[in-house]
């Protein structure tokens, strides 16, 4: 397996634009997580899915953020409209049994977002 | 929800010395505590984990200890080497979503 695949790797956009980040989890993994990493706040859990169903989105900062998982092999994280404070590295991770139940999280390479 | 505190934020040690990173957690229901290592510009990767029914676990130069009563756990790296330089994250959780500490930047001085 190629691991968790994220795109784009880098995105530079202007404030107010829509941003869509994409993730393909490892085949067979039932859990998918979206994390945001910044120097100030570290790794923050935004939302996670189990069997394509969103389970906990309490980490999503505000209504400008939305995430979907239309099938087991694809998820998107959308920011609309984007703001400079959204600049961060966004990681997608997948797991067989849920991160806190003892399943290793396999992270993608991350999408580095810069909002000017 | 779970809150994980990690200290120190930066740790500099001489090559060959030991390094210790400490974390505390708030949710007594948490029962799984992994440690992830993130090298510069790379993704976080699991290096060791411990469950709440175990007090200590060792893997070569790396060990993790857990004190459930005090709600803290620690990462110990012995005989540090240059390739140990990275950011280390502790995490905890009892439900599905892991909560990460803010990370410790470990610097190995030659």
Could you read off the pLDDT of A68-102 as tens digits, one per residue? 999 999 999 999 999 999 999 999 999 987 666 66
> Between chains, do B101 and A42 touch, taking CB under 8 Å as contact?
yes
Selected for mutation to probe chain B from A6, A29, A59, A99 (highest B CB count within 10 Å) is A99
List chain B pLDDT tens, one digit each, 110 residues: 789 999 999 999 999 999 999 999 998 888 889 999 999 999 999 999 998 777 899 999 999 999 999 999 999 999 999 999 999 999 998 666 788 999 999 999 99
**Which are the contacts of B50, defined by CB distance < 8 A and separation ≥ 6?**
B32, B33, B34, B56, B57, B64, B65, B66, B73
CB contact B89 to A (< 8 Å) = yes
Distance CA A84, CA A88 (A): 9
CB contact under 8 A, A33 and B34: no
Structure tokens belonging to residue B56: 């200590």
State the average pLDDT for chain B: 93
Residue with the two structure tokens 């502790």: B90
Taking an 8 Å cut-off on Cβ atoms, the answer to whether A43 and B93 are in contact is: no
- Closest-CA residue of chain A to B5: A42
């Amino acid at each position: 397996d190629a691991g968790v695949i994220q795109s784009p790797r880098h995105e530079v956009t202007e404030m107010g634009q829509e941003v869509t980040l994409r993730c393909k989890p490892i085949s067979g993994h039932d859990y998918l997580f979206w994390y945001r990493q910044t120097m100030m706040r570290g790794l923050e859990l935004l939302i996670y899915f189990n069997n394509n169903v969103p389970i906990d989105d309490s980490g999503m900062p505000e209504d400008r953020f939305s995430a979907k998982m239309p099938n087991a092999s694809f998820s998107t994280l959308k920011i609309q409209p984007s703001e400079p404070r959204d600049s961060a590295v966004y990681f997608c991770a997948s797991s067989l049994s849920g991160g806190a139940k003892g399943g290793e999280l396999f992270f993608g390479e991350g999408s580095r977002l810069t909002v000017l | 929800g779970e809150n994980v505190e990690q200290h120190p934020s930066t740790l500099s040690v001489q090559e060959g010395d030991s390094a210790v990173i400490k974390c505390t957690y708030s949710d007594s229901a948490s029962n799984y505590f992994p440690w992830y290592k993130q090298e510069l510009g790379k993704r976080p990767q699991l290096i060791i984990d411990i469950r709440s029914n175990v007090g200590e676990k060792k893997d070569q130069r790396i060990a993790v200890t857990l004190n459930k009563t005090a709600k803290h756990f620690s990462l110990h790296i012995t005989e540090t080497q240059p390739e140990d330089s990275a950011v280390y994250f502790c995490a905890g959780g009892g439900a599905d979503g892991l909560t990460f500490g803010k990370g410790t930047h470990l610097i190995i001085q030659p």
